[in-house]
């Protein structure tokens, strides 16, 4: 049931993005298909992560609050290291 809702929500976002970008310009940039593709890629990555977590941790009993807390801790640690690095990457806006 929830998978059908996720697929429907992603489809609605993609269709509305494609319909909203049709404004009659001949020299359109491919940002809408890229955005839809990134949404689909993100959904596939997240689904794969959930399946992998379930497969690896199904044989263990873990306190749910501990798991959520550790996941948040490691996420904050990764981003506290990566965000300052990414902020100092200079891109040429061409």
Residue ranges per domain, the chain?
Answer: 2-87
b vs e for 41-59, b when ≥16 Cβ sit within 10 Å of the residue's Cβ?
Answer: eeeeeeeeeeeeeeeeeee
The answer for residues whose C-beta is within 8 angstroms of residue 14's C-beta and 6 or more apart is 36, 39, 40
Residue-level pLDDT, tens digit, the chain, 94 residues: 667 777 787 778 777 777 766 555 555 566 667 777 888 888 888 889 889 988 988 888 889 899 899 999 999 999 999 999 999 988 877 6
pTM of the model: 0.49
Q: Tell how far CA 33 is from the center of its chain.
A: 16
Query: Would you state the structure tokens that stand for residue 45, as one six-digit string?
Result: 């990555």
């Amino acid at each position: 049931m929830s998978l059908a809702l996720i697929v429907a929500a992603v489809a609605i976002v993609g269709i509305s993005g494609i319909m909203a970008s049709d404004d009659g310009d001949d020299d359109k940039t491919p940002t809408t298909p890229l955005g839809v593709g990134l949404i689909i890629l993100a959904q596939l990555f997240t689904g794969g992560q959930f399946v992998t977590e379930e497969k690896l941790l199904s044989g263990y009993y873990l306190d749910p609050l501990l798991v959520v807390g550790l996941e948040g801790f490691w996420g904050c640690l990764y981003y506290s290291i990566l965000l300052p690095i990414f902020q100092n990457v200079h891109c040429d806006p061409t």
